[in-house]
Amino acid sequence: DQQVKQNSPSLSVQEGRISILNCDYTNSMFDYFLWYKKYPAEGPTFLISISSIKDKNEDGRFTVFLNKSAKHLSLHIVPSQPGDSAVYFCAASVKASYDKVIFGPGTSLSVIP
Amino acid sequence: EAQVTQNPRYLITVTGKKLTVTCSQNMNHEYMSWYRQDPGLGLRQIYYSMNVEVTDKGDVPEGYKVSRKEKRNFPLILESPSPNQTSLYFCASRRSWDTSYEQYFGPGTRLTVT
């Protein structure tokens, strides 16, 4: 049973518009969440994170929103650029613990010029 | 340049022929880990290491071995590969055991076992 779910395997967005990638988790112990971005033939790279004490974290064009009651988080990219086309992995963990980080299956984003 | 390197990047082998995938990091990170990526399943952890000589199983350890004799290196060993180990493998490192630190990933090794 997957503890971190990304129910949209793929997403297509026009350049300049907003991209919204969703992630749901089932384990209520998770309190730290990360997003990684992966280009073809490369390893994932860290994008942005959020702790459960916050409901929003922003870094340039990227914003992550956390809804703890719904066990849901989303990554917003505004404005979307063709270079954002990649696979995005949502990941969750128990902060400052020895527990592992659990990754979702990923969402493939295509930004159309 | 801070990086995680893996070799080889691509490997085609036959069932039962032992192989090793090397992983090295130059950031003096304590924590290292191996993942496999399969369609629809995301990244699943195979083994991890908290520090030199300290290793433990992840979610899918069957058929794999690891060792951590030096801080920078964390090789993945497949003693007798089988076709179900055909996958994309990533090595990763992190500053410490604390999961709030980001992980740095290698470029991946695509393994095909026939």
Q: Write out pLDDT tens, residues A77-113.
A: 999 999 999 999 999 988 766 668 899 999 999 999 9
| pLDDT tens digit sequence for B28-44 | 999 999 999 998 888 99
Q: Are A34 and A101 in contact (CB under 8 A)?
A: yes
Q: What are phi and psi of A82, to 5 degrees?
A: -55, -35
pLDDT of B114 above 90: yes
pLDDT tier at B99 (50, 70, 90 boundaries)?
confident
Q: What is the per-residue pLDDT for A94?
A: 83
Q: What is the per-residue pLDDT for B96?
A: 86
Q: What is the per-residue pLDDT for A96?
A: 66
Which position has the higher pLDDT, A38 or B97?
Answer: A38
Pick from A42, A44, A94: CB nearest B99: A94
**Residue whose token pair is 């995301």:** B42
pLDDT of A63 above 80: yes
Would you call the peptide bond into B8 cis, given omega within 30 degrees of 0 as the criterion? yes
Q: What are phi and psi of A84, to 5 degrees?
A: -80, -10
pLDDT (mean) for B86-96: 95
Q: Are B58 and B39 in contact (CB under 8 A)?
A: no
pLDDT of B87 above 80: yes
Mean pLDDT (chain A) is 94
From residue A63, give the alpha-carbon distance in Å to each of A47, B22, B39: 10, 36, 27
Indicate the SS3 state at residue A25.
strand
Q: Which residue of chain A has the CA closest to B104?
A: A45
- Looking at beta carbons, which residues of chain A come within 8 Å of B40? 9, 105
Q: How many CB atoms lie within 10 A of CB B51?
A: 14
Q: What is the per-residue pLDDT for B101?
A: 84
- Identify any residues that bridge with A51 across adjacent strands, giving them in sequence order: A32
pLDDT (mean) for B81-106: 93
Name which of B88, B100, B105 to mutate to probe chain A: the one with the most chain A Cβ atoms within 10 A of its Cβ.
B100
Give the gap in angstroms from C-alpha B111 to the nearest C-alpha of chain A.
13
- Looking at beta carbons, which residues of chain B come within 8 Å of A9? 40
**Residue whose token pair is 């650029």:** A81
- The DSSP symbol for B61 reads -
Contact assignment for A104 to B42 by CB distance below 8 Å: yes
- Looking at beta carbons, which residues of chain B come within 8 Å of A46? 102-104
| Selection from A92, A107, A100, A99 nearest residue A26 by Cα | A92
Contact assignment for B103 to A41 by CB distance below 8 Å: no
Contact assignment for A44 to B90 by CB distance below 8 Å: yes
pLDDT (mean) for B82-86: 97
- Looking at beta carbons, which residues of chain B come within 8 Å of A31? none
Mean pLDDT (chain B) is 95
Q: Strands B19-25, B42-51: parallel, antiparallel or unpaired by DSSP? A: unpaired
What are B8's two structure tokens?
């080889």
Contact assignment for B42 to A106 by CB distance below 8 Å: yes
Q: What percent of chain B has pLDDT over 70?
A: 100
Name which of A101, A102, A108 to mutate to probe chain B: the one with the most chain B Cβ atoms within 10 A of its Cβ.
A101
Q: CA–CA separation, B31 vs B7, rounded Å?
A: 19
